[in-house]
Structure 1
Amino acid sequence: MAAALTDLQKKQMAQAEELLFSGPAKEDFAKDLFLGRFRAASILPYPRLSPEARQLGDEAVAKVRRYCQEHLDAVAVDREACIPDRVVQGLGELGVLGMTISPDHGGKGLSQQNYCRVMEVIGGHCASTAVFVNAHHSIGLRALELFGSKEQKAQWMRPMASGEKLSAFALTEPEAGSDASNVQTTAMPTPDGSGYLVNGEKRWITNGGIADVLTLMVRTPDPDEPDGKITAMLVTPDMEGFRVVEQRMEKVGIRGTATGRLEFRNMFVPKENVLGQVGKGLRIALTVLDFGRTTFGASCTGAAKFCLERLAHRANTRKQFGRHLGDFELVKAKLAEAAADTFAMESATYQSAALIDSGAEDYMVETAMLKVFASDQLWRIVNDTLQVWGGKGFFTDEPFERMMRDARLNMIGEGANDVLRCFIAMVGLRGLGEQLQQVAKKPWEVARLLRFAPEIPVKHERLRGPAGRLAKQIGKLARVSQAALIKYREAILDQQFVQARIGDIATELFMASCVYARLDSMLTHPPENKQQHRRQLATGELYLKLAARRNQARFAEFKSNLDQAQVALADDWLAATDLPLPGEA
């Protein structure tokens, strides 16, 4: 029997309810994995653009690729820690800064899938520019599009979609980052009810020091909540009390972005500038982050493809010990795994983008999974590419040291990966817990619910084996998730080792499901390039095998692990506060 909940755990549960949205959990593909289900209708067939949409995307991709090659110097952007104004203007003229926005509001009206294709190009060319565009379009502008009033949209959408005005999303504070609910900046209603007085600060805000319109997350009073609730507001730098403390904070990577530090002192914000409903800002934040994480996936995919091409080139041209590097098995292993994981990143990116295009109600888990996987794997791929390039890759005349610095941010921004691992697990466990409660009086129903592996449609004999392995592991995820809920009950909130394993298993299963769906589509539709088709099939099949092996290792850790030994040693180190830092003795 689990111990009684502490006050801290009760508070965590209340925060979790707000983060996961109160009310019945919506069904979707990723959440159903925790129930041992494969929701085929949500993922099969793999999305394919219509000929008309494909042509529009092809044209946009070609224009952006040409522009990047001719006008965007990634080395200079990194060296000078600035994206030139002419580049920002050029991206605006190309429509990149309002690509998915309706033409009625000055945008191009392209789909999320085509937008991801464009972001893949930018991400493979200059990470700073990709992050700048993502912050402006996917997060800042998207918040206004989804939640803005008619009057707010009329005032700001068109100039923001054209790039005449830049946007930013101001959430992060010294005590609020991954813990989005811990915002301390306050907005107190004025006595006459005309607006709010805002006090506080924001840090590490992408575009924060150069934005013309910012979506600001603040804490407003609420009669039912002593600490108040989060509200979103639209603010501009010309408001009295708005101060840019630092326009461009020095960073390790993505140095071209203007990451700002902002301060607000009795800044008056008219009530008309409240975005959405008072007290519903956290939902706005989480919703727009879903879009940002999808384009994160696209940017990481573009960078991974860049590395993959150069890894193969180096392996084919560099000789050591009288042989090409590509003749050595350990180099082959790096190349094959990079190709397989890049294929998975790409597959899940466009599957997630298609979910958005389809009007699906909920895709927060899928986009979180994509963000975690893509950023983790890109970090490894960049590292492996530099390793194959050896000493030459370590020098600044090659792009890899810059790419490594840039790639590190991806595992922190828009939700730190370790936090998202636990978030993924807790959302899935919440849905499973609700299902178990419904059948609690019928134990045989619980057994039936979790006993068998799901049925995965198989149209091609070549995929029968991969489908069987995938189904078996989906069923096993449901069983270990059930066991965790029964063992820990509410105290599961504190079991981060368990959460992380469950989150990683579920993430790998989602990625594998996307790859499976893509392979099914490739086998169904005749190839245009048979050699490329053969190689892509083999790449996807290798990923499915790698994913299954990774998950086998994670499942094994539920029975045998070093969790308690790690906790004990860490506690010992944490208690040794009087010890000098390493190297200071």
Structure 2
Amino acid sequence: MKSTQLVAAARRLGAPHRRALGTAPEPRGARQSASFTLNLFRGQFEPAQVFPYPDALGAEQRQTLAELLPPVEKFFREVNDPAKNDAAAQIEERTLAGLWELGAFGLQVPCELGGLGLSNTQYARLVEVVGAHDLGVGITLGAHQSIGFKGILLFGTEEQRARYLPRVTGGEYAAFCLTEPSSGSDAGSIKTRAELAPDGEHYVLNGSKIWISNGGIAEIMTVFAQTPVQRDGRTVDKVTAFVVERAFGGVSSGPPENKMGIRCSNTTEVYFEDVRVPARCVLGGVGNGFKVAMNILNNGRFGMAAALAGTQRAALRQAAEHAATRVQFGRRLADFGAVQEKLARMALLQYVTESLAYMVSGNMDAGAADYHLEAAISKVFASDAAWAVVDEAIQILGGMGFMKATGLERVLRDLRIFRIFEGTNDILRLFVALTGIQFAGSQLQELMRAFKRPTAHLGLIFSEAGRRATRAVGLARGADVDALVSAELRAPARELARQVLQFGACVEAALRKHGRAVVDEQLLLNRLAAGAVDAYTSAAVLSRASRARRLGLPTAEHEARLAEAWTEEATERLGALAAALGPRAQRHGERLTALGRDVAAQGGSPTRNPLEL
């Protein structure tokens, strides 16, 4: 996706807002939100969607989940064989039949339409089980419901929901068809077209899609195509979403792709040749396809974090068990400090990932409007963390970890795609930074307008001037967060609040220096995105660990140590952000971009082997 499109996507966000903790009233007219990450870019510590940690399940929902978990866990232990699925590059028929019987393909579809009617948090817990056992199966399930027919759930008319949801819960597979050969991250550049037929009752769809999960088996697809629409008296192309049935005719699929990982999931090209799509199958309105696609992807990203939390928990268990029993040099591996540090860092990454997954799902279940940046962060962090955790698990197992018998090499191969699909991590980092910067920029613009009529805005001007002066002389302390966290976590929480304030100053400095051209400063944007990840993940673990203490959980002390360790490291990185955005870092960034241009121009490294003259 191009920078301008990312900014356009950012503008679509909008929601009511609670006042940020310890800050002056928002300038009237500035965009408002309850999102922690959005407010972070203004240097404001907004606790509304972070503290206390979400408790999203009622008694009945907990009971339902307690009844569903045992059979699902038993199924993946005793029926599904991930090694066989991987070797055959397809899921065993008995596994698929069992999953349909369990209702696993319709977890969030309302009960009256054939599904289980689960909340996002319930869904996350079951997906975590799947992620612990077989990511290939997880992709088949997720491609079906997390994105395949999710658009019908989110945007479908009553007629569309009644027509299609019973079918996608009753044995017919669904797929999400967006990516094309010439448009991956740049979703707005798709070439597939749909023209309204002369009868006005059908669209004629032509084009092709690539790398479509479930593409060879799906009977019902959410397809995105360019359509001509009238805008301001002229005809322009806008993306529209359609529900397309294979039975319409003209829909075909290529052979399954031979993939590095998630081999058992079906991935194919899908072709559309003069497909007559009834006008009633337009999803979300003509010309609104980009909004539909982004909302589908945003809505489903928390599930990826939940699945990968399960993957990490399983890998950590395998590594810990091996370290506790393997003896080298007369000592167990678990007694060596280097191995202990590896296990500790793996546990940190798993704890953060899991905390993010259930914080985002809990906020979604509570009706939060602005959770998109947090969902993006959860996907980015989870996919990076899972790779690191499984890689270290293989390292702890040594040569044994490299062998197929342990299953970890398969998991590592499966994991690689998670940093690429449903929004590459690179694009999502830019999305987080650009959206946050635009949110901060709206406040600065309102302040500038206030200075044009100072007598009418004295309160705003003086409060803002005081805040900036305090920050400039190093007296700013950040928000008062003591009441939000347990006693043993107040010190790291205070430091986080202080760094949130400084983060806002870094964002403002970047805006003042670059103005609108900041959209092209990708190295700077990546550093700001990294800071946002550090801040939000710290808030999430502080909140979760404080919940454990409040409830008197037996793991409370261990969770507090995890939260403290993570937050101290993350806030230390945040503290170095100003230097990372300074002149020296800028020179280094310019040097790297120049080197990159040279490599691209030469088609590889321009240096010669040292033995060649």
Distance 1:389 1:359 in 2: 44
2:196 matched to 1:205? no
Structure 1 residues 554 and 385: alpha-carbon distance in aligned structure 2, compared to 1, 3 A threshold: farther
The answer to whether residue 1 in structure 2 is matched with residue 16 in structure 1 is no
Counterpart secondary structure, 2:49? helix
Cα distance between partner residues in 2 of 1:414 and 1:192: 36
The one of 488, 492, 495 equivalent to 2:518 is 492
Q: Shift in Å at residue 16 of structure 1?
A: 2.7
Residue aligning to 2:93: 85
Aligned residue among 39, 47, 51 for 1:32: 39
Task: Supply the distance in 2 between the matched residues of 1:137 and 1:449 (Cα, whole angstroms).
Answer: 47
Distance in 2, matches of 1:510 and 1:36, equals 13
Contact map agreement 1:46 1:518 (CA 8 A) in 2 = yes
Q: TM-score, normalised by structure 2?
A: 0.89
Residues in 2 aligned to 1:78 and 1:14: alpha-carbon distance in whole angstroms: 38
Q: Would you say the 8 A contact 2:6–2:434 is kept in 1? A: no
Match of 1:274 among 278, 282, 290: 282
Say if 2:192 and 2:207, in contact at 8 Å, map to a contact too: yes
Q: Which amino acid aligns with 2:70?
A: A
What is the CA-CA distance between 1:291 and the residue it aligns to?
Answer: 2.6
CA distance in structure 2 between the partners assigned to 1:549 and 1:323 by the alignment = 35
Deviates more, 1:458-467 or 1:121-130: 458-467
Q: Indicate the SS of the match to 1:218.
A: strand
Equivalent of 2:480 in 442, 455, 464: 455
Match of 1:219 in 2: 226
In 1, the alpha carbon distance for the partners of 2:373 and 2:14 equals 17
Identity rate, percent: 34
Shift of 1:377: 0.7
Q: How much does 1:547 deviate? A: 2.0
CA distance in 2, matches of 1:581, 1:315: 43
* Structure 1 contact 26–362 (Cα < 8 Å) conserved: no
Match of 2:537 among 485, 491, 511: 511
Q: Is the 8 A contact 2:482 2:490 kept in 1?
A: no
Q: CA deviation at 1:141?
A: 2.2
Confirm whether residue 187 of structure 1 aligns to residue 212 of structure 2.
no
**1:537-580 Cα distance to aligned partner (Å, 9 max, x none):** 32222222232233344443112422111111111222224989
Q: Which runs of structure 1 show a deviation greater than 4 angstroms over 4 or more consecutive aligned residues?
A: 22-26, 443-450, 577-583
Structure 1 counterpart of 2:569, from 546, 553, 565: 546
With over 3 angstroms needed to count, the CA separation of the structure-2 counterparts of 1:393 and 1:145, relative to structure 1, is same
Q: What is the 5 A alignment of 1:249-288?
A: 249-288=257-296
Which of 245, 256, 266 is matched with 2:254 structurally? 245
Cα distance in structure 2, aligned partners of 1:255 and 1:553:
41
Aligned AA (2:121): Q
CA displacement 1:104-144 (0-9 Å, x = unmatched)? 21111121111100000000000001111111111122211
Please, what is the CA RMSD of the aligned residues? 2.2
Of 556, 559, 570, the residue aligned with 2:596 is 570
Q: Which amino acid aligns with 1:558?
A: L
CA distance in 2, matches of 1:327, 1:227: 67
Stretches of structure 1 lacking an aligned partner (at least 5 in a row): 1-8
| Alpha carbons of structure 1 residues 151 and 495: separation in structure 2 relative to 1, 3 Å | same
**Contact 2:7 2:435 (8 Å CA) reproduced:** no
Distance 1:578 1:134 in 2: 37
Map 1:174-573 → 2, pairs under 5 A:
174-224=181-231, 228-246=237-255, 248-440=256-448, 441-442=450-451, 446-448=464-466, 451=471, 452=476, 453-458=478-483, 459-527=485-553, 530=554, 532-559=555-582, 560-561=584-585, 562-573=588-599
CA distance in 1, matches of 2:321, 2:13: 51
Q: Distance in 2 between matches of 1:149 and 1:485?
A: 42
TM-superposition CA deviations, 1:17-41 (whole Å, max 9, x none): 1464277855122211111222222
Structure 1 distance, partners of 2:607, 2:95, is 45
Please say which of residues 537-546 and 30-39 is displaced more in the overlay.
537-546
How far off its partner does 1:266 sit? 1.7
Structure 1 residue 84 displacement after superposition: 2.2
263-272 or 428-437, which deviates more: 263-272
Question: Normalised by the size of structure 1, how large is the TM-score?
Answer: 0.93
Tell me by how many angstroms 1:457 deviates: 4.2
How far apart are the structure 2 equivalents of 1:249 and 1:20? 37
Amino acid at match of 2:221: L
Alpha-carbon separation, structure 1, partners of 2:604 and 2:186: 30
* SS across alignment from 2:350: helix
Alpha-carbon distance between aligned partners in 1 of 2:539 and 2:328, rounded to the nearest angstrom: 40
Farther-moved stretch of structure 1 (343-352 vs 34-43): 34-43
Q: CA deviation at 1:581?
A: 11
